[in-house]
Amino acid sequence: MRTIHTLKELRAVLSGYREQGKRIGLVPTMGNLHEGHISLVEQARQAADVVVTSIFVNPMQFGANEDLGNYPRTLQGDQDRLRAAGNSLIFAPSPEEVYPDGLALQTQVIVPEVSEGHCGASRPGHFEGVATVVTMLFNMIQPDVAVFGEKDFQQLAVIRKLTRDLFIPVEIIGAPTVRDADGVAKSSRNGYLSAEERALAPTIFSTMEEIATALTQGATDYTKLENNARSALSAKGFRIDYINIINSLTLRLANSEDQNLTVLVAAFLGTTRLIDNLSIKR
């Protein structure tokens, strides 16, 4: 496994693989890898001959009061995990390599509608940063397939739309959320939780399961379900960002006619913002 830091070297290496007729897969990450990321690499290995995992803490997707400076940089540990997982290449560019003219002068990609609401409302500019860097990675690496986790449900929808709208010839694979035994979704941010907060974290998943059960039993008063969930989580010490029941395809707030539904949750434990989702079909 090789670790590459420049676009020039990356393209030279990938050109050799293409000449051999190899199918190239991409797993974009910000590093600090856990089992969820490794599951994406494993899926990419099933779909491609060569797997490139990018490790880049993208400054464009962090807001002014978010944790860009404190986000863990764990390249050595990430290399060890990826080597054991059978990853082929790591692309770990510097911010200067990706944004040579700085963020202020960088062309941005804006994905309308699916970027709005939910995390898009709570984190202005976040999805513009995600869409821009993913588009850049697609152009840098030119993969045949790219794998993203379903835990970031809105992000996956944004990436699917930009790929379709811009006619980018990349197959997008959504990988199921990897969870701990108690239901907590694997996330780099879980490492910020105190022991007491980590003990409370499974309540998000159990609350989503309660909503899903009600939905499968025919409940259609979505506002009541959302409000009850907010009250339950708030009573446990969560600070709610949003709890929304949405149409899984459009990401709009659901109505009684929708059959494919997803429960989206974002909530803080202490200073740590956790997101999760659960989809059902009625």
- What's residue 66's pLDDT? 82
Quick one: tokens of 201?
């974290």
180 in any annotated domain = no
* 206 and 155 together in one domain: no
* 210 and 72 together in one domain: no
Residue pair 253/222 in contact (Cβ under 8 Å)? The answer is yes
Q: Is the confidence at residue 166, as pLDDT, over 80?
A: yes
Quick one: tokens of 60?
């464009």
**φ and ψ at residue 242, rounded to 5 degrees:** -155, 155
Amino acid at 76: Q
* 82 and 148 together in one domain: yes
Catalytic residue annotation: 37
160 in any annotated domain = yes
- What's residue 63's pLDDT? 86
146 in any annotated domain = yes
- What's residue 2's pLDDT? 97
Number of domains in the chain: 2
Q: Is 206 helix (H, G, I), strand (E, B) or coil?
A: helix
242 in any annotated domain = yes
More confident residue, 230 or 256: 230
pTM of the model: 0.95
d(CA 72, CA 51): 23
Q: Is the confidence at residue 226, as pLDDT, over 90?
A: yes
* 22 and 75 together in one domain: yes
- What's residue 139's pLDDT? 98
Domain end point (choices 143, 175, 207): 175
Task: Read off the pLDDT band of 58 (50, 70, 90).
Answer: very high
* 209 and 232 together in one domain: yes
* 37 and 131 together in one domain: yes
- Give the CA angle between residues 227, 228, 234 to the nearest 5°: 85
**Residue 214: domain span:** 188-281
90-128 residue pLDDT tens: 999 999 999 999 999 999 999 999 999 999 999 999 999
Q: Is the confidence at residue 64, as pLDDT, over 90?
A: no
27 in any annotated domain = yes
Task: Read off the pLDDT band of 282 (50, 70, 90).
Answer: confident
Question: Which stretches within 123-221 are classed as H helix?
Answer: 126-141, 153-165, 195-200, 202-216
**CATH number for the domain including 255?**
3.30.1300.10
183 in any annotated domain = no
Question: Can you give the length of the chain in residues?
Answer: 282
- What's residue 16's pLDDT? 97
181 in any annotated domain = no
Domain end point (choices 112, 146, 175): 175
- Tokens 């490794």, residue? 38
- What's residue 40's pLDDT? 98
* 213 and 124 together in one domain: no
130-145 residue pLDDT tens: 999 999 999 999 999 9
182 in any annotated domain = no
Residue pair 6/87 in contact (Cβ under 8 Å)? The answer is no
196-219 residue pLDDT tens: 999 999 999 999 999 999 999 999
Q: Is the confidence at residue 65, as pLDDT, over 80?
A: no
6-44 residue pLDDT tens: 999 999 999 999 999 999 999 999 999 999 999 999 999
**CATH number for the domain including 28?**
3.40.50.620
Domain end point (choices 149, 175, 201): 175
Handedness of CA 180, 150, 270, 209 (dihedral sign): negative
* 122 and 192 together in one domain: no
* 89 and 218 together in one domain: no
Quick one: tokens of 21?
């007729």
Minimal CA–CA distance to 241: which of 275, 281, 212, 201?
275
* 197 and 79 together in one domain: no
* 158 and 199 together in one domain: no
Q: What is the dihedral of CA 147, 150, 154, 157, to 10 degrees?
A: 50
* 31 and 166 together in one domain: yes
